[in-house]
Chains A and B, each alone.
Chain A
Amino acid sequence: MEKQLITLKVNGELHTLAVPVFKTLLEVLREDLSLTGTKHGCELGECGACTVLVDGEPVLSCLVLPIELQGREVLTIEGLMEGGRPHPLQRAFAETGAAQCGYCTPGVLLSAKALLDRKPAPTRREIAEALSGNLCRCTGYLQILEAVERAAAQMRDVRSAATTDGR
């Protein structure tokens, strides 16, 4: 089996790995780096469960080869906590009931993070659009949408408090 040496930056840490050329980012994350928080529901780019962020943009890790990611930053669900504290999105999801079985949750959270980083005050429609590639079979999406709104509001509050302080 032909292997290649790759360097991958995941959640701020650099890893050098020898992996078979056809192994997807999803497989490398889960199997070589034991980052099993990234899920899979199809491995064909259809469900969104494997969503991670690459340089802040949502990417389906089941469709990407790690070799394409040299020099780029991968963020997985394991890297979403900040200083050991849950990200506002994580907290809002937990409080709102947005994670039922939780299997879609890591992918949904990362898609939502990419959205909020780009657009701090999205409408419900914009949130639904941003998450339309992440299937969830449990929640009917409504508590997910609510959780994203709740987190967005909270993050805006924190940000405006910070700007007020810094004045």
Chain B
Amino acid sequence: MSGFNVIGKPWPKVDALPKCTGETRYADDLHFPRMLYAKILRSPHAHARIRRIDVSRAQAVPGVHVVLTGRDLPTRFGILPVSQDEEALCVEKVRFVGDPVAAVAAVDEWTAEEALRLIEVEYEPLPALLTMEQALAESSVRIHEYGDGPNIHKLVSLEFGEVAEGFAQADYVREDIFFYAGSTHLPLEQHAAVAHYGPDGRLTLWSSTQTPHYVHRALAKVLGLPPHRIRVIAMPVGGGFGGKSDPFSHEIVVAKLALLTGRPVKITLTREEVFYVHRGRHPVLLWIKTGVRRDGTITAMHVRSFLDGGAYGSYGVATTYYTGALQTVTYKIPRYKFEGVRVFTNKPPCGPKRGHGTPQPRFALEVHLDKIAEDLGLDPIQMRRRQIVEAPSLTVNWLRISSCGLRACIDRVVEASGFREKFRRLPFGRGVGFACSAYLSGAGLPIYWNDMPHSGVQIKIDREGGVTVFCGSADIGQGSDSILAYIVAEILGILPEDVRVVTADTDLTPVDLGSYSSRVTVMAGNAAVEAAERLRRLLFRAAAERLDVPEDQLLARERRIFDQADPERGLDFAEAVQLAEARFGTLGAVGSYKPPKAPGRYKGAGVGPSPSYSYSACVAQVRVDPETGFVQVEKIWIAHDVGRAINPRLVEGQIHGSVYMGLGEALMEEHTFHSRLGVHTAPSMLDYKSPTPLEMPEVECFLIETEDPNGPFGAKEAGQGPLLPIPPAIANAVYDAIGVRIDEIPITPEKVLKGLEDKARGGSGRVGPTSIPSLTWPEPIRVEPPPEWRSSGDLT
């Protein structure tokens, strides 16, 4: 007997019905007796010193319980140990419009709001640095006192092999500059948190967070409480996309307010606040230079990225490295240099958004390659397809490729879309574009240095055969709870409905680092495999004795444990459980997972390694109206190498969602600020444009299964990678349609019209940045590539 019973089938998610009946409770749905409501006062200035705060009038409002200011919570925090630069409420300085300054707990939201209005803050405005150029030029004004230079959060320079040598071997070298605008996650659920401090001296925080474990650590640090007295519960998250993965000011504030009042306290951000809290896509300016042989074989690549980080560190150090790390995992690049800088500006801090730091360079790379192919008269597909990385192999920057289905991905979409018949052949105004990408299945290193597992799973079984799985992972809608249920059900031979999943509760569940970097299926999945297999071993041992069949001849399936050779000979699952409990005592098992050790040994080698990389290839077909400049995406063909689809329906849902978000970024989404005041110019869902069902094109998905050796059942990530090829595929399609290169995301109608006008006047029609800021880059860290890349001389 082979094949799977649960894996690979389109089971409904375990929490699907409750979500469709209104039963699922999100953070803001919680209500407790005596609950107070909190509100946060935010800075109206982009950059200012706080001279004085007077809360006396606010405090006097009837119904107000506590008013907090920065002095009550002076300990700094931040998601990365290297950038502990945030304050729950600003102490001396505000750094962006929206920076939290004071907080009120009151009997209801209106009273809290009224109190906010009565808080008097005297600010001394400082020059606001709103662009990277300003921040780099004005070294006398400092947003932070730390970093790699004035207003420079992080400066990276890495060289893998001698790029000069690689460029010398090229027949053709091309340089391009691209810009990818910042955008925001726009989760439908506004962030919310409720805190409760009990008479037992324990604090509980319920929050809409993707990373309860990191919130737990931050609370302990800022509040100065022992971690075992703090419990963080991540409620079902109403959309995250990376925007709920930092520990946030409002979470710390409600916790402090609960400590001070001894009453439950709730906070729910307004939609406008969500725009300011942000942590979304970094605006990135990219310069890319590639040397190729006449046939398009890459001999060297050099990338420079400039990240507009906003006012705080957040995940920014990691983001900076990510803009350089993953170029090497799709095509063979024998010599590679990466320089990156993250600049502080007086705007809401950027952080991780779906694809974390990789959609920007991917856009640049895939459009750049399209241009190179055209310059050399090469087929853009063949040029890429010929130099796909091998598996297994190490890239020049020491990333380990364990499986790669990119070639199959390419072939599927090229064939299904009829790309070859359409490319450069459709009538003016219509076009097709192609792009590939790759993404990690979980960050190979934890955010804070430690040697412990990245994910843990615990399973308990009750006597009637009911199974409960405990794991710290947070379901943010991607279906991670269901994935755990499917995996455990498959291994124990039961059905997903027999499995109860308890997740994301720091008191009850073993640590999982959180729902970020597409890590949960692989990491929590592997931990679940280990725990379930351990448990199955006990059941098999007990069943083998009873049935008098060798253990290795047993199979668990359809709620039975039976002899493969004689399926009639078997036990009900519950019976086996009872036998095993009688034999071994209370049943339970734990499993854990830690990614393979990353092979790179250089400073910066911690960002980029992953147990595996997912691959995708995409063809976009567009229609461009030359009168209005409006780009309509008619259809997307996308193939995604997911290793194995644990649930193909959920994988398709992730692909659709990625296509949608990539489409929004490609055509309309942009975080925009007033150029002098730093005020968000569109902090509402109406003004911040995002696609509706009417803009969503038809999407044809192809799942490619490569059975990765490091994945549970061979699975890799599904939820982020397919976003990456969308913007470059659309940009390449727009060029195919109207012969105009828009080297800047989003591709708005204004830019399209500008390109067409320029072309009509005899220009190139290109729209995009033409220069990069001048910056003295440090001497690169020179990294010897893995042996297979070392031979100098002929690189091919």
A residues bordering B, Cβ < 8 Å? 1, 30-31, 34-44, 46-47, 49, 76-78, 80-81, 86, 89-91, 93-97, 99-106, 109, 127-129, 131-133, 135-145
Which residues of chain A are near B15, meaning CB under 8 Å?
102
Q: How far is the CB of B66 from chain A (nearest CB, A)?
A: 21
Given contacts A96-B649, A100-B478, A143-B656, contact A128 B23 (CB under 8 A): no
Interface of A is mostly: loop
Is the Cβ of A41 less than 8 Å from the Cβ of B12? no
List residues of B (693-721) whose CB comes within 8 Å of A's CBs: 693-694, 696, 699
Is the Cβ of A41 less than 8 Å from the Cβ of B271? yes
B residues bordering A, Cβ < 8 Å? 10, 12-13, 15-26, 28-29, 31, 110, 185-190, 236-241, 270-271, 476-479, 649-650, 652-653, 656-661, 684-686, 690, 692-694, 696, 699
Is the Cβ of A46 less than 8 Å from the Cβ of B693? no
Which residues of chain A are near B693, meaning CB under 8 Å?
127-129, 131-132, 141, 144-145
29 inter-chain pairs at a CB distance below 8 angstroms, sorted by A residue, are: A1-B110, A30-B29, A35-B22, A40-B28, A41-B188, A44-B686, A47-B271, A77-B21, A80-B22, A81-B21, A86-B20, A94-B13, A94-B16, A97-B13, A97-B650, A100-B479, A101-B187, A101-B188, A101-B239, A101-B477, A103-B477, A128-B692, A135-B690, A135-B692, A138-B188, A140-B661, A141-B660, A141-B696, A142-B696
Is the Cβ of A136 less than 8 Å from the Cβ of B22? no
Q: How far is the CB of A56 from chain B (nearest CB, A)?
A: 18
Which residues of chain B are near A93, meaning CB under 8 Å?
16, 20
Is the Cβ of A138 less than 8 Å from the Cβ of B477? yes
Given contacts A101-B236, A140-B696, contact A39 B188 (CB under 8 A): yes
Is the Cβ of A140 less than 8 Å from the Cβ of B659? yes
Which residues of chain B are near A131, meaning CB under 8 Å?
693
Is the Cβ of A41 less than 8 Å from the Cβ of B699? no
Is the Cβ of B652 less than 8 Å from the Cβ of A97? yes
Is the Cβ of A47 less than 8 Å from the Cβ of B685? yes
Q: How far is the CB of B530 from chain A (nearest CB, A)?
A: 28
Which residues of chain B are near A30, meaning CB under 8 Å?
29
Q: How far is the CB of A127 from chain B (nearest CB, A)?
A: 8
Which residues of chain B are near A145, meaning CB under 8 Å?
693
Number of A-B residue pairs at CB separation under 8 A: 176
Is the Cβ of B188 less than 8 Å from the Cβ of A49? yes
Q: How far is the CB of A63 from chain B (nearest CB, A)?
A: 13
Is the Cβ of A132 less than 8 Å from the Cβ of B20? no
Is the Cβ of B19 less than 8 Å from the Cβ of A99? yes
Is the Cβ of A36 less than 8 Å from the Cβ of B29? yes
Which residues of chain B are near A109, meaning CB under 8 Å?
20
Is the Cβ of A142 less than 8 Å from the Cβ of B656? yes
Is the Cβ of A44 less than 8 Å from the Cβ of B684? yes
Which residues of chain A are near B240, meaning CB under 8 Å?
101
Is the Cβ of B188 less than 8 Å from the Cβ of A136? yes
Q: How far is the CB of A87 from chain B (nearest CB, A)?
A: 9
Given contacts A100-B478, A101-B189, contact A42 B271 (CB under 8 A): yes
Known contacts A129-B693, A135-B685, then 4 further A-B pairs from the complex at CB < 8 Å, ordered by chain A residue? A38-B22, A101-B239, A102-B236, A103-B188
